[in-house]
Amino acid sequence: MGIWDKLRNELIDIIEWLDSSNDTIVYRYEREDNEIKNGAKLIVRESQAAVFVNEGQLADVFPPGTHELKTENLPILSKLKGWKYGFSSPFKAEVYFLSTKRFTNQKWGTPNVFYIRDADFGRVSIRAFGTYSIKVNDPVKFLREVSGTDGEFTTDEISDELRSMIITRFIDAIGESGLALLDFAQNYKDLSDFCQKKLGTEFGEYGLEISKFLVSSISLPPELQAKLDEGTGMNMLGDMNKYSQMKSADAMENAAKNPASGGGMEGMMGMAMMNQMMQNQQNQNQPQQQQYQQPQQQTPPPMPPQLKFFVSTNGQQSGPFDMNTLQQMVMQKQLTKETLVWREGMASWLAAGQVTEVSGLFGAVPPPPPPPPPPPA
């Protein structure tokens, strides 16, 4: 290497950072013992910031743009160096480039289950997952509080700590919300907004802004989820046709996905089991239906027509009289077996003793008393 090449490498003319990664937040410009030439150009691209550090002290901060490094452009560094009247010789300073773009799709999740007390299910263990986005909004604070002198700082190096803060605030949000377990899904947005607001202050202490926070899933342990699904299926037993249709559709779908695994036989077995369940359910419901079935009101048969007879006494017709009246007439000796009677359907008048319906009335009349015994001789 010639002397001019060596001198050219030692005196840096252009300082810039071309980031090809998606996760680097801080990059320290590689200079080793190289010196920065007076009048060198500093190129800071959009979504970047450049920070000069002299002997461990934070100095000047440069926003996006092209900057010529002169005394008037480095007021803090000039003061630290004691350059009252400018400088013409090379100088040494560490240059840190910070990415101020938004780092999206950062994952968070509860590593272990945590417990809540639910009004419907009691003490329940749940897990939660989601994503968030961050960006550096205070480069000096981030260097001072987080990255320090790290030559290349990525999102992975701070993600664990950020996730810990997120989980803590999320569990607090669940507790403060007072939501029922079954209402979580329809309140993801409210929970997300609440957590983002709470986390904004804590992330700001690191020079970070949390630009987006999302709750994507709140899940139950598999065994509890299975119980809830089973309960949902049992609730559907009220409509056995709907339940049967659902199970049949599941069986056909499984058979279509696994044609070589005996899915058709499984489908038929499932249908047989469903038919048996339906029959059992109907048998169980039948006694209850009979128990609560309103008794049918039966109409009694029509009363038989009451017999009535006409009576002929001394050539005079009277009546008609019902059987009760005829009984009284017999008792009063107004009707005898020789008295002529007639009713509808009879061909002619007959003696009462010859009519079956009337003759029975005379048997109830006691016979006349026997004559008194003759007097003694």
Q: What is the mean pLDDT of residues 185-194?
A: 91
Q: What is the mean pLDDT of residues 79-87?
A: 62
Predicted pLDDT of residue 371: 74
What does the alpha-carbon distance between residue 34 and residue 206 come to, in Å, rounded to a whole number?
Answer: 31
For residue 263, pLDDT over 50 is answered with no
Domain spans in the chain, listed from the N-terminal domain onward:
3-99, 103-222, 308-364
Task: Say if CB 170 and CB 198 are below 8 A apart.
Answer: no
Predicted pLDDT of residue 113: 85
Q: Which DSSP state fits 91? A: B
For residue 206, pLDDT over 50 is answered with yes
Q: If DSSP codes are grouped into helix, strand and coil, which group holds residue 329?
A: helix
For residue 298, pLDDT over 80 is answered with no
Which CATH architecture describes the domain 308-364? Answer: 2-Layer Sandwich (3.30)
315's tokens: 């050539």
> How sure is the predictor about 294, in pLDDT bands with cuts at 50, 70 and 90?
low
Predicted pLDDT of residue 265: 47
| Residue 279, H or E segment | helix 263-292
Range 103-222 classified under CATH 1.10.287.70:
no
Predicted pLDDT of residue 120: 81
**Mean residue pLDDT across the chain:** 79
Predicted pLDDT of residue 7: 47
